[in-house]
A = this chain, B = another copy of it.
Amino acid sequence: MRMGLLGAGRIGRIHGQNLAASRDAALVSVADAVPEAAMRLAAETGAAVASLDAILADRTLDAVLICTPTDTHAELIEAAVASGKAVFCEKPVDLDAGRIRRCLDAVARAGKPLMMGFNRRFDPSFAGLERRLRAGEAGAVELVSVISRDPAPPPVDYVRRSGGLFRDMMIHDFDMVRFLLAEEPVEVFALGAALVDPAIGAAGDVDTAAVLLRTGSGRIAQISNSRRASYGYDQRVEVHGSKGMLRAGNIHQTTVEIATAAGFRADPVQNFFLERYASAYRAELNAFIAAVKGEAPPSPSGEDGLKAQILADAATESARSGRPVTVDLAAL
């Protein structure tokens, strides 16, 4: 299986290196607006540097991975499926749900698989939790709680272009909630504030937020986010069901513990998302390869991306209006 990579930035490099190490697929060509970035990754992996257009036009490629800036995703997806390629695209398809719908229509017409990059579904612990939940270990789901805290806030410049915390950061948690709840949310209520960095507030965004979601049958999901966590990148999930609780979470940097008169002290948790989710990115790529082979439908799909975006939009609106917002994901 031959693949091209569009975008050789931080996340593109991860996928490119995982592809180079794969036995089931080959990284053939790499494009990036910054030639040095493409050249560096090409040198490391044995791939060729190519232009974005050349990769899209290359009929020998089975698939492309889209790791370019968000505002290029929809157009690139459309071009790639039009030229007969399967597509893996980093989240989101677009910051505008209408634009996403049009893109997904084009994908449907082309009949090519589109898989979205919600990497956390492939974390061995979260994936294992979901499998055990589906197998009934905790019984019928009643309440899902997701905690997600970044180690430190991004630059305000990034925040301004990000679509806001709910679309940029919490979208992962909306996808996780959908992954675990097994029933679509119908209502979203959101609170947010700029408690970490006043400049984020001045830019019109929040850095601390919490959301409640409700499904039609009354199941509840809680999400909390912060752009700061002094003790590492905090990523936890807890699910309560009729039989018990399943939870999964963080990994400490080492297993070392010191005990003195001050107490027992363990390390901070892993601090960087590329470290925390290294095995998730490998599993994600394997899932995409399987989807390209036709062994399984692409999952999370473009529709999953759209639904998470609709929840993020609803949360953004709720936080602004102070009112709960209803959504109808089942009708999509």
Closest-CB distance, A43 to chain B (whole angstroms): 11
**B263 touching A266, Cβ below 8 Å:** yes
User: How many residues on A have C-beta within 8 angstroms of the other chain's C-beta atoms?
Assistant: 69
In the complex where A256-B246, A257-B246, A258-B138 touch, is A145 in contact with B220 (Cβ < 8 A)? no
Q: How far is the CA of A249 from the CA of B229 in the complex (A)?
A: 20
A98 within 8 A of B: no
Q: How far is the CA of A292 from the CA of B107 in the complex (A)?
A: 54
Task: List residues 22-60 of chain A with CB under 8 A from any CB of chain B.
Answer: none
Q: How far is the CA of A245 from the CA of B251 in the complex (A)?
A: 16
**B214 touching A212, Cβ below 8 Å:** no
A161 within 8 A of B: no
Instruction: Please indicate the chain B residues that have their CB under 8 angstroms from the CB of A124 in the complex.
Output: 253-254
A330 within 8 A of B: no
Q: How far is the CA of A259 from the CA of B195 in the complex (A)?
A: 19
Instruction: Please indicate the chain B residues that have their CB under 8 angstroms from the CB of A251 in the complex.
Output: 251, 255
**A260 touching B247, Cβ below 8 Å:** no
Copies in the complex: 4
A2 within 8 A of B: no
A189 within 8 A of B: yes
**Interface readout for A317-332 with B: 1 if CB under 8 Å, 0 if not?**
0000011100000000
A99 within 8 A of B: no
**B219 touching A143, Cβ below 8 Å:** no
Q: How far is the CA of A82 from the CA of B104 in the complex (A)?
A: 67
Task: List residues 185-204 of chain A with CB under 8 A from any CB of chain B.
Answer: 187, 189, 191-196
A226 within 8 A of B: yes
Give 21 A-B contacts (CB < 8 Å), ordered by A residue: A129-B256, A132-B258, A143-B210, A189-B191, A189-B324, A191-B214, A195-B219, A211-B212, A226-B240, A229-B245, A230-B243, A230-B260, A231-B263, A244-B258, A246-B256, A248-B254, A248-B255, A248-B256, A252-B263, A263-B268, A323-B324
Q: A231-B263, A248-B257, A249-B255 are in contact. List 13 more A-B contacts (CB 8 A).
A: A125-B256, A129-B256, A132-B256, A142-B196, A191-B214, A194-B218, A208-B218, A245-B260, A247-B256, A252-B263, A264-B268, A265-B265, A324-B324
| A residues apposed to B, CB below 8 Å | 124-125, 128-129, 132, 137-138, 140, 142-143, 145, 149, 187, 189, 191-196, 208-212, 214, 217-220, 222, 224, 226, 228-231, 240, 242-269, 322-324
